[in-house]
Structure 1
Amino acid sequence: MASSAKKGSALVETIKTIVYALLIAGVFRTLFFQPFWIPSGSMKETLLIGDFLFVNKMAYGYSYASCPSLMLPSLGIDIDAEDVCGFLKNDNKRLFGSEPERGDVVVFRHPVTGRDFIKRLIGLPGDRIRMKDGVLQINDQPVQLREAGIFEETYEAQGPQGSYPRCANGPVGEGGACLKERMIETLPGDTEHAILNIGNQSSDNTGVYVVPEGYYFFMGDNRDNSSDSRLPQSVGGVGFVPYENLVGRADRVMFSSAGRSMLFFWTWRPDRFFKRIE
């Protein structure tokens, strides 16, 4: 009997330890940092497929979007932030809120699907945003651009999804050099970052977007391979993003793997460990 009681007590203590650990992890993820794995190439070369980072959730304060999501399709688990904190939605306000800055790399919830996206903040409330001949215009002024060589990568399946990059010199065979034009873009306020160009397409010339109060305009750095605020939500784009949908700011890549799994150590990118995001 004593042995059975001890086993029962040990099991209870183990369960309590697991529950406490999950609660601590949940609080940490809700209040401070959220892990994020880059699944697509829309932010190259700033972020590569396979980069792993922590999103600073303290940067802009807290809203319903700060609540963590838990998606484990193999176990049939799909708990969304809105399921937990949806009662806080639709006021477009934040607790301890602060305004993001133009040029920040931000994780936000898609206004329709609720999935997490990561893009660069281009337009602030009241801004007039337009693309003309592939050049970004903010408040009717073209941003400064300077040539910065060629971005080269191998044409091969990338990341767990096995997606292939788009190339300016395509079509490219498996294992070939996939090239894109690289430019340095300077936003108002002198924020600089690299952008990539593949070729002429419809998103290089747009109408004028006037960013509403309480909303923001986002674009990917890989300009010709990014679904972002240039496309309205009705056709699968992002459109304008409300303040309350911001999750946090991406400041630094913690780890990076070029393979299909982070366990394939021979595909790790040591030069990107703890790399600052600019």
Structure 2
Amino acid sequence: MTEKKKTDWVGELKQLALLGLIVFGIHSFIAKPFFIPSESMLPGLVTGDRLIVSKYPYGYSTMSPSWISLPTVPGRLFGRLPERGDVVVIKSPIDHVDYIKRLIGLPGDTVEMRDGQLWLNGVAVPKTPLPPVDLVVSPNTDCLDPAVVQYRIVRPDGVTVCRYPRYRETLPSGVSYDVLDLFPTPQDNTPPMIVPEGHIFLMGDNRDNSEDSRFPAEMGGLAMLPIENLVGRAEFTTFSLDGSTTLNPLSWWGALRGDRAFMSLRPQVSAPPAKN
């Protein structure tokens, strides 16, 4: 009778540890998934979007590793500054939670808001009106907040949507992206702010609903963010859920937003505006 082979538990644990190290390495230094939890990046990113963030484009800092907390050390290994207009994931200076915003200002830049228009280094960034954007109402996007309920409408086809005014901003490099500007807010006007060396200036595309570098950290904002807090660059969406999922797996398919899969998150580039 053949003797039953004993399980090599030590070997199994070594294999699991190796697998864990591989996952840790990929997640920390190559790419990681990210989930959009809020409306601060409307209209380009909606609540429920899942996306991939690459970790290597800007180098690494002590905040790069996933699932562990290291003492903050100034500087980055293989560091490279982002480009204006990049959508980036960063760690909050207060609680080190991941946030996603758009890179607006680099070290030495002067950033200012005047009546809702962005000014960069003393020059107004062109802000062109576009046709409104329709976001289909769902549990993740309901337009029921008193500040935005006026934009909730029923289209002739019977679909209820949030119809938001939309604008196209074009940076001096020719990079362009869409933003929302729904109503006057205090953050529509800021004094000129010079980005210090080793820091970056970030803003959400939903200019009325984003706690970003326009706000000091003690008010829940990002302020001028140290470059060490930069995590990576948003590359593309993988899939999106509208918030209607339940424990029943049959509900998962109906919650998928098929038109939001594999959307590039790299900003569009056109010819830079002509100089006067």
Deviations 1:57-93 (A, max 9, x none): 1100111111002xxxxxxxxxxx42xx32xx231x1
- Counterpart in 1 of 2:139? 157
Distance 1:17 1:259 in 2: 37
The runs of 5 or more residues in structure 1 that have no matched partner are 70-80
Q: By how many angstroms is 1:172 displaced?
A: 5.0
Aligned counterpart for 2:78 among listed residues 57, 81, 96: 96
Q: What TM-score does the superposition give when structure 2 sets the normalisation length?
A: 0.85
State the Cα deviation string for residues 80-135 of structure 1 (Å, max 9, x = none): x42xx32xx231x1111111110000001111211111000001111111111110
Does the C-alpha gap of structure 1 residues 270 and 213 become closer, same or farther in structure 2, counting only changes over 3 Å? same
| 2:216 corresponding residue in structure 1 | 232
Aligned to 1:267: 255
Structure 1 partner of 2:22: 24
Aligned mates of 1:272, 1:202 — CA distance in 2:
32
Distance in 1, matches of 2:146 and 2:78, equals 41
Q: Over the residues paired in the alignment, what is the CA RMSD in angstroms? A: 2.5
Whether the 8 Å CA contact 1:157–1:164 is kept in 2: the answer is no
Whether the aligned pair in 2 keeps the contact of 1:38 and 1:52 (CA below 8 Å) is: yes
**Range moving further from structure 2, 210-219 or 254-263:** 254-263
In structure 2, how many angstroms separate the alpha carbons of the residues matched to 1:21 and 1:49? 32
1:155 and 1:165 in contact (8 A); partners too? no
Larger helix fraction of residues: 1
Partner of residue 121 from structure 1, selected from 84, 88, 103:
103
The answer (yes or no) to whether the contact 2:54–2:233 under 8 Å persists in 1 is yes
4+ runs of 1 displaced by more than 6 Å?
none
1:56 maps to which of 54, 57, 60: 54
Offset at residue 141 of structure 1 (A): 1.1
Task: Give the residue type in structure 1 aligned to 2:222.
Answer: V
Name stretches of at least 5 consecutive residues in structure 2 with no aligned partner: 268-276
Distance 2:48 2:144 in 1: 13
Residues 217-263 of structure 1 deviation map (CA, whole Å, 9 limit, x = unaligned): 00000111111001101111110111111111011112222225496
| Equivalence for 1:144 | 126
